[in-house]
């Protein structure tokens, strides 16, 4: 699994930081993520604009969705 997310060629056509973050995470997830349910080494990408899910596993049929927020995650102390 490659943990490097930076792909300059992917970012060249975007100006908004939120678009860049979305594109980077979606591209990394699609190329590096495995199915955490059945451990299949590769997951598939749904067509754009599918409600609720972004990715799915061909083997066990689980759906996955990436979420984002400008707010901090976790508990504040």
Burial of 35 (0-12, 13-18, 19+ CB in 10 A): buried
pTM exceeds 0.75, yes or no: no
- Give residue 31's Cα distance to chain centre: 9
- How many Å apart are CA 45 and CA 30, to the nearest integer? 7
Residue 37 predicted with pLDDT over 80: yes
Distance (Å, whole) CA 5 – CA 29: 9
**42 pLDDT higher than 80:** yes
Percent of the chain with pLDDT over 90: 30
Q: Which pLDDT band holds residue 77 (cuts at 50, 70, 90)?
A: low
Pick 10 or 22 by higher pLDDT. 22
Q: Is the pLDDT confidence value at 1 over 60?
A: no
Element at 27 (helix H, strand E): helix 17-32
Domain ranges of the chain: 14-64
């Amino acid at each position: 699994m490659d943990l490097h997310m930076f792909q300059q060629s992917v970012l060249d056509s975007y100006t908004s930081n939120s678009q860049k973050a979305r594109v980077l995470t979606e591209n990394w997830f699609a190329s590096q993520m495995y199915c955490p349910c059945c451990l299949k080494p590769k997951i598939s990408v749904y067509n754009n604009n599918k409600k609720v899910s972004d990715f799915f596993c061909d083997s066990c049929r689980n759906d996955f969705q990436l979420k984002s927020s400008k707010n901090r995650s976790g508990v504040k102390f």
